[in-house]
């Protein structure tokens, strides 16, 4: 009874936009507390309103600075903004320095903006495991726009496509030759390309390489050819502001296109599939692994594998037969 | 599986831009396994308090080398209290004369570390006095 009451109270506060309650729930999700799952059960029916925009690119490409500028653009359009900024966890100590916020602190006191930093905590793919549910929380808070900034990515960290409606890939000049190398993976997921630091040498070469890459695509989903937005030096407010306006407009255009062509439904379905996979893994695989580890069975299996008495596939088949009837 | 981590914010209030100490501490907290949110320099107490709440940190470490700590440190504690976040621990460090300690403690600053304080001592203080979510 009281737990139910607390749950409803939590939902009410989050829907009213209460930052403290929302941030604590995100924390509980990161720590995988059981009560956090019940909370998601309650908020899930209220999700699906926000436009989720993923921002990815290599370390130092200028993602956080771009997010900061986008917050300002969307605030001017009277949109409320949530930001989830992901930085890496140390594989050695489990600690993390979450520094994306430095670039966004001018918005700290704006009640229409909520910035939350997340550590990857071992997740691969450029995000953290909690990111999908954290998006739900910000969505239910009523944020019109949710910007998800990945860790600095290489070629393969494409997890962001499972969590966003619009993906922005941020590139910088001076890595020209690598365009060829990274054609698969991250170059394929962009709905919008940003050439950042476009005042630097090589930006035109980068642009023409991108164009020729796009020219080779036989057909674009929903007829959307990813536009290329050039963004210059953020210390030259005039031109920088103009290019940001262009980017904000293009983000809006993309969302409208998703709605018109019903690609939005596809993207939401993709996210749902990932959520089901993760939830199943948590519900089925995780308890088995935990029990096998705690009972010492895992240790014993490792020994047998090292002595070549068996192989991983035989073990997996055995475990599946025993546990999943 | 589930692990409760300490979340700590390292912030520099006021106009002072000497952030080497703050950065070294941030790094050191990282190595201790904490999740460290670093806000950078030139922050107002209002910005620091708002960020601390958005990030749901357990503790805020303030660094000030300019002499304005007698206003800035207590102000952060005050705003946190106003916003219903009095459970967030606030500690401070920097160039703090001994005679200012009592008034800072009175204002709710839980610990003060000055130049020469060993990093281990600071980390140990956090481990002993702060629990994730202050449970």
pLDDT higher than 70, residue B115: yes
C-alpha torsion angle, residues A317, A319, A321, A324 (rounded to 10): -120
Name the CATH superfamily, with its identifier, for domain A48-261: P-loop containing nucleotide triphosphate hydrolases (3.40.50.300)
Query: Which pLDDT value is given to residue B2?
Result: 57
Residues 6+ apart with CB under 8 A from A219: none
Residue A96 C-alpha from the chain's centroid: 18
In a domain, B128, yes or no: yes
Q: State the total domains in chain B.
A: 1
Average pLDDT estimate for B53-58: 96
Average pLDDT estimate for A139-160: 89
Query: Which pLDDT value is given to residue A47?
Result: 92
What pLDDT band is residue B75 in, cutting at 50, 70 and 90?
very high
pLDDT higher than 50, residue B94: yes
Identify the domain containing residue B72 by its residue range: 7-134
pLDDT higher than 80, residue A177: no
Helix, strand, coil % in chain A, rounded to nearest 5: 55, 15, 30
pLDDT higher than 80, residue A259: yes
pLDDT higher than 60, residue B50: yes
Q: Is A13's Cβ below 8 Å from some Cβ in B?
A: no
Taken in order A115, B14, B6, B29, the sign of the CA dihedral is: positive
Average pLDDT estimate for B69-74: 95
Tell me phi and psi for residue B62, to 5 degrees: -105, 140
In a domain, B2, yes or no: no
Q: What percent of chain A has pLDDT over 70?
A: 96
Average pLDDT estimate for A228-254: 91
Please tell me the distance from the alpha carbon of residue A151 to that of residue A86, in angstroms, as a whole number: 5
- B47 contact residues in A (CB cutoff 8 A): 105, 108-109
Average pLDDT estimate for B40-64: 95
Query: Which pLDDT value is given to residue A3?
Result: 80
In a domain, B51, yes or no: yes
pLDDT higher than 80, residue A182: no
> pLDDT, tens digit, for every residue of A85-106?
999 999 889 999 998 999 999 9
In a domain, B13, yes or no: yes
Please tell me the distance from the alpha carbon of residue A291 to that of residue A271, in angstroms, as a whole number: 30
DSSP string, B61-112: EEEE-SS-HHHHHHHHHHHHHHTT-TTSEEEEEES--GGGHHHHHHTT---E
> pLDDT, tens digit, for every residue of A9-63?
999 999 999 999 999 999 999 999 988 989 999 999 999 999 999 999 988 899 9
A34 to chain B, closest Cα gap in Å: 9
Structural tokens at position A20: 């403290």
Average pLDDT estimate for A289-309: 92
Interchain proximity B26–A97, CB inside 8 Å:
yes
What average pLDDT does the structure give for chain A?
A: 90
Interface test with B, best of A68, A80, A98 (most B CBs within 10 A): A98
Of A32, A94, A109, the CB nearest to B2: A32
Q: Is A281's Cβ below 8 Å from some Cβ in B?
A: no
The CATH number covering residue B41 comes to 3.40.50.280
- For chain B, the residue count is 135
Burial of A195 (0-12, 13-18, 19+ CB in 10 A): buried
What pLDDT band is residue A123 in, cutting at 50, 70 and 90?
confident
Q: Is B127's Cβ below 8 Å from some Cβ in A?
A: no
Query: Which pLDDT value is given to residue A181?
Result: 46
Note which residues in 28-57 of chain B have CB less than 8 A from chain A: 29-40, 43, 46-48, 50-51, 53-56
Interchain proximity B31–A31, CB inside 8 Å:
no
- A23 contact residues in B (CB cutoff 8 A): 53-56
What pLDDT band is residue A178 in, cutting at 50, 70 and 90?
low
In a domain, B1, yes or no: no
Average pLDDT estimate for A201-216: 88
- A19 contact residues in B (CB cutoff 8 A): 53-54
Please tell me the distance from the alpha carbon of residue B105 to that of residue A124, in angstroms, as a whole number: 43
pLDDT higher than 50, residue A238: yes
Q: Is B85's Cβ below 8 Å from some Cβ in A?
A: yes
Query: Which pLDDT value is given to residue A183?
Result: 63
Query: Which pLDDT value is given to residue B1?
Result: 44
In a domain, B117, yes or no: yes
Q: What percent of chain A has pLDDT over 90?
A: 58
What pLDDT band is residue A64 in, cutting at 50, 70 and 90?
very high
> pLDDT, tens digit, for every residue of A8-18?
999 999 999 99
């Amino acid at each position: 009874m009281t737990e139910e009451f607390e749950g409803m109270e939590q939902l009410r506060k989050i829907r009213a936009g209460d930052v403290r309650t929302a941030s604590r729930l995100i924390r509980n999700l990161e720590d995988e507390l059981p009560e956090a799952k019940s909370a998601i059960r309650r908020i899930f029916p209220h999700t699906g309103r926000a436009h989720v925009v993923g921002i990815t690119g290599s370390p130092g490409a200028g993602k956080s600075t771009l997010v900061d500028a986008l917050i300002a653009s969307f605030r001017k359009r009277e949109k409320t903004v949530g930001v989830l900024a992901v930085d890496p966890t140390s594989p050695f100590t489990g600690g993390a320095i979450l520094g994306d916020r430095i670039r966004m602190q001018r918005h700290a006191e704006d009640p229409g903006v909520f910035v939350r930093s997340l550590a990857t905590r071992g997740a691969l793919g450029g995000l953290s495991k909690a990111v999908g549910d954290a998006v739900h929380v910000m969505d239910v808070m009523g944020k019109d726009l949710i910007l998800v900034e990945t860790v600095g990515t290489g070629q393969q960290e494409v997890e962001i496509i499972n969590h966003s409606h619009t993906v922005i890939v941020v590139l910088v000049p001076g890595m020209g030759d690598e365009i060829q190398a990274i054609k698969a993976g991250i170059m394929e997921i962009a709905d919008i390309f940003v050439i950042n630091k476009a005042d630097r040498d090589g930006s035109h070469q980068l642009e023409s390489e991108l164009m020729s890459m796009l020219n080779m695509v036989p057909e674009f989903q929903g007829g959307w050819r990813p536009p290329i937005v050039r963004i210059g030096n953020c210390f030259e407010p005039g031109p920088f502001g103009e290019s940001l306006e262009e980017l904000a407009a293009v983000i809006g255009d993309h969302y409208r296109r998703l709605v018109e062509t019903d690609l939005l439904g596809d993207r939401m379905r993709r996210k749902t599939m990932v959520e089901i996979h993760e939830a199943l893994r948590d519900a089925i695989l995780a308890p088995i692994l935990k029990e096998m580890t705690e009972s010492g069975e895992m240790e014993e299996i490792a020994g047998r594998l090292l002595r070549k008495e068996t192989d991983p596939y035989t073990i997996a088949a055995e475990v599946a037969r025993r546990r999943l009837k | 599986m589930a692990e409760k981590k300490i979340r700590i914010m390292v912030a520099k209030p006021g106009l002072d831009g000497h952030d080497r100490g703050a950065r070294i501490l941030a790094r050191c907290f990282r190595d201790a396994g904490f999740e460290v949110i670093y806000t950078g320099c030139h922050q107002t107490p209002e910005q620091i308090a708002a960020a601390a709440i958005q990030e749901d940190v357990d503790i805020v470490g303030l660094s000030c080398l300019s002499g304005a700590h007698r206003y800035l440190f207590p102000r952060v504690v005050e705003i946190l209290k106003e916003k219903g976040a009095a459970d967030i621990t606030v500690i401070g460090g920097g160039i703090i004369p001994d005679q200012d300690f009592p008034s800072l403690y009175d204002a709710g600053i839980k610990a003060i570390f000055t130049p020469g304080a060993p990093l281990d001592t600071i980390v140990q203080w956090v481990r002993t006095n702060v629990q994730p979510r202050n449970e």
